[in-house]
Amino acid sequence: MTQTRLPLLPLPASGPSLAFWTLAALLIPLGWDASGLDLAAARLLAGPHGFALQDHWLLTRVLHQGVLPFAWLLVGWITVGVWWPTWGQQRLSAGARLQWAASSWIALLVIDLMKLASRTSCPWDLAQFGGTAVHVSHWAWGVFDGGVGHCFPAGHASAGFVFLAGFFAWRGASPRLARIWLAGALVAGTVLGLSQQLRGAHFASHTLWTAWLCWSIAWAVHAVPALFAGRAPLAAKVPRVVLLFWVTKVLATTMGETAGDAFSRTLGLGYATASLVFLALFAAALAAQLHTRRYRPLAYWSLVVAGTTAGATIADYFNLTLRLGHFRTALLFAAALAIVLASWRRSSGRIGFDGIRSTREESFYWATILLSNILGTAIGDCIAGLTGFAGGALLFAALLATIALLHAGRKLAPVLLFWSAYVLTRPLGTTLGDTLTEAQALGGLALGRIGASLAIAALIVAAIALMSRLQRRAGSALAA
């Protein structure tokens, strides 16, 4: 019996009906906002002394604290399933699993970023319910209401609504399972949202907007790749690995360090917020890169810069905010990198660095790059603490020179040398960036993070232009 192989992106193109219902559903949160029923609903649950059910054990211990670990485990299972499908995920193609995981993470990132930017306080913070804030519309961005803010949209409800993405993942392979995911996500998100409204942690509008955002993000992640269905790559989607490639890569990693510090420290966003911002940029750049049919310098190098900047802030978040320390952070992401590389080898039969054409290989390629940036940042910071910034830069430059000699002498496999060099360029960029921007008392030149980032960005653009010009000349010479 012949086994039919699932195509990489099996999901049917989104018809007008899904677009129509997505836009039609927008009328629900808009209509609720226009009605002004948020305060009226809250007054049914609270008085001048607060919300009677704010500390109820069922709402706090079970539906708030107890549910979140299970939601994160489910998101983790969906994510790991991109590479290691289990419990029925084998019925989905790699493309469908990737879309499922991507839409889940993008939805969570969008909700978290909106909450971080929001100045709207929760109902229990309002003066009429025993707090100090005044009621301000959640669309009045930048307007302080006198409370702590960061309440819109409903983050807790997203722990249920985020699984609306399962409907789009399964609707092509199993309509029955798609409906189960749809119903389960709607019920879970609604219950979690209502539990927070009973406590005074959110207005009803917060839950409605979270539901619509999670649905529309899942629909968009599903719909956009469908526009490119059947468009096989015409050529390799990564550049040739020549000396100028490595020069550009070192510049990109150096900018990743300076730009990451500029956003997290100079602009005061903090490591968590900056990491979310750069991960969102990385996801957007990855979507653009996956939809190209050949190597496009702008798409490729934009993704490299986004990945190296995200790597810097994520490593700093684990090291400084979570206080894991450089060594444990490096060990954690070294293990994650080893898992991804092993999965890549198991899935594709090889670990590559050139001739990358399929979506599956490209997904592994960029996952490896992101993790190598986080690992390299942790290694660079760890070594710089022992040798100083300049000493660390010299050490990593010497290690890269050793790899170059091994490559010239053909002593080791090219793929091993490539990825070893790729990891080491990140700590080189880390130490170079800190040498340029850190205070002179710490061994730096104190050039300024924003100015240094802009100057390095100009050098990257020049290097990319030169690389493209040389490749065109080489192509013309071969054609002649």
Q: What share of the chain is helix, strand, coil (3-state, %, to 5)?
A: 70, 0, 25
* DSSP H helical ranges for 26-164: 27-35, 37-43, 57, 67-80, 94-117, 158-161
> Taking the chain, what is the end-to-end CA distance rounded to the nearest angstrom?
50
pLDDT at 12: 39
Mean pLDDT by 10 residues, the chain (480 residues): 39 57 87 91 93 94 93 93 90 86 88 82 94 87 82 94 94 91 96 96 95 91 60 66 89 93 84 82 82 85 93 91 88 91 84 80 89 93 89 91 87 87 91 88 84 92 89 63
pLDDT at 130: 93
* DSSP H helical ranges for 317-413: 325-348, 359-387, 389-408
Domain residue spans of the chain = 16-226, 243-471
Contact 456, 251 (CB under 8 A): yes
pLDDT at 122: 94
pLDDT at 224: 63
User: Up-side HSE of residue 272: CA atoms within 13 Å toward CB?
Assistant: 8
Report the phi/psi class of residue 192: left, alpha or beta, with left for phi > 0 and alpha for psi in -120 to 50. Answer: alpha
Backbone angles phi, psi at 368, to 5 degrees: -65, -40
Backbone angles phi, psi at 26, to 5 degrees: -60, -25
**Three-state SS at 149:** coil
**Three-state SS at 126:** strand
For residue 244, give both structure tokens.
Answer: 């100028």
- Among 194, 211, 208, which Cα is nearest to 53's? 194
pLDDT at 196: 96
Long-range Cβ pairs for the range 175-180 (8 Å, 24+): 177/88
Q: What percent of the chain has pLDDT over 70?
A: 92
47 pairs with which residues across the strands? 50
**Three-state SS at 340:** helix
The alpha-carbon radius of gyration of the chain (Å, integer) is 25
